[in-house]
């Protein structure tokens, strides 16, 4: 069994925005697609990730636990891609400026 990184990205968007509707704008999906992804993620984990408190969306204790692992998985994915990106820039940039320009333009 594997977790879908797209579902985890959507989950984190919901967590960060506090709603399926706001998250849908971040992940460029419809609100119903976000809702379906969260339902599939809950089904796969066999855990309820969100609870409703009136109109507010809150994380369940299992949802809070998943946030830590989801952020790590997404971060590791980006780190892995960066490790194999031969076009990535690496190194330091040094910029020499006269004091009057440095004080005025570089903050």
Q: How many domains does the chain have?
A: 1
Question: What range defines the domain where residue 74 resides?
Answer: 5-83
Q: Would you say residue 75 lies in a domain?
A: yes
Q: What is the pLDDT of residues 66-90, one digit of tens each?
A: 999 999 999 999 999 988 988 877 7
Q: Would you say residue 91 lies in a domain?
A: no
CATH number of the domain enclosing 27: 1.10.10.10
Q: Would you say residue 48 lies in a domain?
A: yes
Q: What is the pLDDT of residues 13-63, one digit of tens each?
A: 999 999 999 999 999 999 999 999 999 999 999 999 999 888 888 999 999
Q: Would you say residue 34 lies in a domain?
A: yes
- Terminal Cα distance for the chain, rounded: 50
Q: Which token pair is 19?
A: 């709603």
The angle, 0 to 180 degrees and rounded to 10, between the axes of the packed helices 31-45 and 20-27 is 100
Q: What is the pLDDT of residues 87-104, one digit of tens each?
A: 877 788 887 777 776 666
d(CA 21, CA 25): 7
Cβ atoms of residues 34 and 20 within 8 Å? yes
């Amino acid at each position: 069994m594997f977790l879908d990184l797209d579902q985890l990205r959507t989950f984190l968007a919901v967590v960060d925005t506090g709603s399926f509707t706001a998250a849908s704008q971040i992940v460029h999906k419809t609100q119903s697609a976000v809702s379906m992804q969260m339902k599939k993620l809950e089904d796969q984990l066999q855990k309820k990730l969100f609870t409703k408190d009136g109109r507010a969306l809150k994380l369940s204790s299992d949802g809070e636990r998943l946030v830590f692992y989801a952020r790590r998985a997404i971060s590791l994915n980006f780190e892995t891609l960066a490790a194999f990106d031969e076009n990535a820039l690496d190194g330091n940039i040094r910029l020499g400026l006269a004091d009057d320009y440095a004080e005025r333009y570089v903050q």
